[in-house]
Amino acid sequence: MQIPSLLNDLIGQIGGLLQAIFEAFLPDWLAVPLVVLVGIGVTVTFVAVVVMTQVWAERKVIARIQDRVGPNRVGPWGIFQSVADVLKLLTKEDIVPAKADRWVFVLAPLVTLVPSLMIFAVLPFNWDATIARLDVGILYVLALATFPTLGIIMAGWASYNNYTLLGGMRAAAQLISYEVPEVLSVLPIVLLAGTMSLWGISAAQEGTWFILAPIVGPLGFALFFTAGLAELNRSPFDLPEAESEIIAGFHMEYSGMRFALFFLAEYANSFSVSALAATLFFGGWQGWLLPGYVWFFVKTYLLFLVMIWARGTLPRLRYDQLMGLAWKILLPLTLVNVVLAALVKESRIMEWFPAVGLLVINVIVVFLGFHLYNFAFRVVRRNAGAPLLEGTQAAQAARG
Amino acid sequence: MPGLNQFLILGAVLFCVGIYGALTKRNVIVLLMCLELMLNGINVTLVGFNRFLAPPVGVSSSPFAGQMFALFIIAVAAAEAALGLAIVIAVYRVRHTVQVDEIDLLRG
Amino acid sequence: MTDVIATIAFWVFAISAVVGALGVVAARRVFHNALFLVVALGSTAAIYVLLSADFLAAVQILVYVGAIVILMLFAIMLTPQAVELPSFAPGGQQFAGSLVALALFGLMVGAIVTGPWALAARPLDQPTSYDLGRGLLTTFVFPFELASLVLLVGMIGAILLARED
């Protein structure tokens, strides 16, 4: 499709224009950092706007799942509700607990937020609209995804509160447990694409998306999405920050703008994880007819819709169930996934098999996998239920 | 772009600050942190050597030997930190202290 | 122009690395020591980026900041001290320690400045992931297997040592 030449490489064109303007009256070595600073400002503004749309979408969709309407007063369909929320949070009193460690208390939201914003620098919005085409893109993103753990520990400790400390440590244990499956589930995609650069991974899905890779695609996507949900502290893994748990966990003492920073970090991270899943498994900007960045946003928002759906429908996991899921189920599956990906890569099946055929294979695999899981669940239930029942009957018989 | 000397001096500073901390701090965990500082200083030196002294890719069979070294140092440092901290926790359970000069049962 | 920016970046990150290192040694509370270590390690990762070691920089953040420092924070939380004792050894040991450190630093700087370094014609500035991966499986396969064995033994040892019983 003929894209107007103005939209080609929009980021590069605007950057070049700004640099030319600055270099007219500033020395070279000051002009480039200024352009970079402007770029950072634009990116942060973009993230803030995206997060506001995310919050609105989440509240409306969750409301519909729960058979109510959601915010509908502030503007048509309540689209300005997020703006009202931000204004409210901005005008709240800034409370720092008296015995809190002031520096660590203040820095904790920043340590959580800034890496989340840094991830947006490598997301490939279009084949020519990536801010930085890093050669180690996915490793950079995964390295930055380990910072929120540090921020949560800092927040929990600095609040000088037993409950925030406990909440922070539980959250940290959950986050470090799910880091391993998250990193390992990305490995098959790097194997199939032959590069760690996110731009390169999107470009490698020219003909067939990686989700169509036999077994490896759906399995890898399920593992990455689950681990990503847990990394984001989102339902059904939101034990650390749920209201009915240990009094809202690590961010209990935070109010006003500081809490807004944590909030912003979580939603920016969820956009990043959705965008990553779209890039790694669904081809990023690849698509017919529409321009690349439209496809990118459509895919990202659809995956974010799946996240909201999971939040609205699934019950919360208990802590031991959560840890058991990470270490006993996700980790072995990711290792199996890596081996399968090596087989898929060696057989070169993705190159000559038509995409439709791969889709049929994967649908059959998912169908069989679902029934296998149900069968295994029923077997485990049957074997575990009998002794329990006997125990109850024996206890009743003993009581007489 | 600063030359090789600046990077080497940075590595030396990190190493010497680490040695000072390892010789004077009393908390065992801080001792381990200073150990990590020393290893980082060494890593900076190695990677600096790799960039400035290494022959191009076609000529040598392992042009990135410096970075490979640094990678292995990071991996082994991770294992050593994990084991060291496990020992610290085990000692704390028995002696209820992590000060270096109070863990002296084996002193002659 | 890139040169000037690279020099500015080097000095910013070198100073923050040294500040972080001094903070590790000088901070009064153990928690702050760990946070200063994060500053030092993060600045070192930025220095790696300056030295075109992109893979190593990402691994440094992933392993050191994302795992080792968090491990240390957990250990700090699990070993609370009843009384906050002074963190430094008595004065004589501090003086001797600083003497040793300064002497060593002087020796190293002397060696660095006077050493005849055989600088290559062009610095090695290229993406490293491919060559590192290739090297790990060809030239350095033996250390690679040994390192994985060390990590396995370390994992088993840490679990055994830290168990309750």
The larger pLDDT score, comparing residue A378 to residue B67, is at B67
Per the CB < 8 Å rule, is C72 touching B29?
yes
pLDDT score for A1: 37
The pLDDT, as a whole number, for residue A5 is 46
How confident is the model at residue A385, as a pLDDT? 52
Mean pLDDT of B10-22: 94
**Mean pLDDT computed over every residue of chain B:** 87
DSSP, collapsed to helix, strand or coil, labels residue B59 as coil
Which of C13, C44, C141 should one mutate to test binding to chain B, selecting the residue with the greatest count of B CBs within 10 A? C44
Residue A387 pLDDT? 47
> What pLDDT is attached to residue B24?
87
* CB burial of residue B72 (10 Å; 0-12, 13-18, 19+): middle
- C-alpha C45/C-alpha A131 separation (Å) is 21
Phi, psi of B27 (to 5 degrees): -80, 130
- Asked if C61 and A146 come within 8 Å (Cβ–Cβ), the reply is yes
- A257 interfacial to chain C (CB closer than 8 Å): no
Residues of chain A with pLDDT below 70 are: 1-9, 242-248, 383-400
C60 touches B67 (CB < 8 A): no
Chains that touch A (3 or more CB pairs under 8 A): C
The whole-number average pLDDT for the span B55-61 is 65
Shortest CA distance from B73: residue in chain C: C147
Return the pLDDT at C83.
58
pLDDT, average across residues C156-163: 88
Among C11, C36, C39, C54, pick the best mutation site for testing chain A contact (most A Cβ within 10 A): C54
User: In what helix (H) or strand (E) does residue C62 lie, and over which residues does it extend?
Assistant: none
CA-based nearest distance A140→chain C, Å: 5
Contact C71 B85 (CB under 8 A): yes
CB C122 within 8 A of CB B56: yes
* Sequence-distant contacts of A162-165: CB under 8 A, at least 24 apart: A163/A246, A163/A247, A163/A249, A163/A252, A164/A249, A164/A250, A164/A251, A164/A252, A164/A253, A165/C77
Compute φ and ψ for C83, nearest 5 degrees. Answer: -125, 140
Segment C72-113, tens digit of pLDDT: 999 998 888 765 566 666 777 888 888 999 999 999 999 988
For chain B, helix, strand, coil in percent to 5 are 75, 5, 20
Q: Write the residue in A136, A147, A157 that is nearest to C58 by C-beta.
A: A136
- Give the minimum alpha-carbon distance from A338 to chain C in angstroms, rounded to a whole number: 16
- What would the pLDDT profile of A61-76 be if each residue is shown by its tens digit? 999 999 998 888 888 8
Are B79 and C131 in contact (CB < 8 Å)? no
Touching pair A, B by Cβ (3+ pairs < 8 Å)? no
The strand pairing partners of B27, in sequence order, are B99
Residue B103 forms contact with C (CB below 8 Å): no
Using omega within 30 degrees of 0 as the cis cutoff, is the peptide bond preceding A236 cis?
Answer: yes
pLDDT tens-place string over residues C129-152: 888 888 888 888 999 999 999 999
If 0-12 CB within 10 Å is exposed, 13-18 middle and 19+ buried, where does residue A106 land? middle
Q: Which residue of C has its CA nearest to A33?
A: C5
Contacts of C157 in chain B (CB under 8 A): 83, 86
Cβ-based contacts of C124 with chain B (< 8 Å) = 50-52, 54, 56-57, 63-64
In this prediction, residue C30 carries a pLDDT of: 85
What's the one-letter identity of residue A338?
V
Considering only alpha carbons, which residue of chain B is nearest residue C130?
A: B64
Question: Chain B contacts of C140, Cβ < 8 Å?
Answer: 62, 68, 72
- pTM, to two decimals: 0.89
Model confidence over A234-293: pLDDT tens digits?
877 777 776 666 555 777 778 888 888 888 899 999 999 999 999 999 988 888 888 888
Residue A334 burial (CB < 10 Å; 0-12/13-18/19+)?
buried
Question: Which contacts qualify for A6-15: CB closer than 8 Å, 24 or more apart?
Answer: A7/A291, A8/A128, A9/A128, A9/A129, A10/A129, A11/A129, A11/A130, A11/A131, A12/A128, A15/A39
Nearest to A199 by CA among A302, A121, A288: A121
Residue pairs spanning B and C at CB distance below 8 A:
251
CB A187 within 8 A of CB A341: yes
The CA distance from C118 to the nearest CA of chain A, in Å, is: 29
Q: Read off the pLDDT of each residue in B89-96 and give the average, rounded to a whole number.
A: 87
Q: Give the pLDDT of residue C86.
A: 62
Contact A337, A219 (CB under 8 A): yes
Per residue in A211-240, pLDDT tens?
888 888 899 999 999 999 998 888 777 777
Residues A322, A325: Cα–Cα separation, whole Å: 5
The pLDDT, as a whole number, for residue A245 is 61
Give the largest Cα separation in chain A, rounded. Answer: 97
Residue A224 contacts residue A307 (beta carbons within 8 Å): no
Residues in chain B: 108
Contact A157 C4 (CB under 8 A): no
Answer yes or no: do B87 and C161 touch at CB < 8 A: yes
**Which residue from C54, C106, A287, A141 is spatially nearest to B71, judged by alpha carbons?**
C54
d(CA C30, CA C37): 11
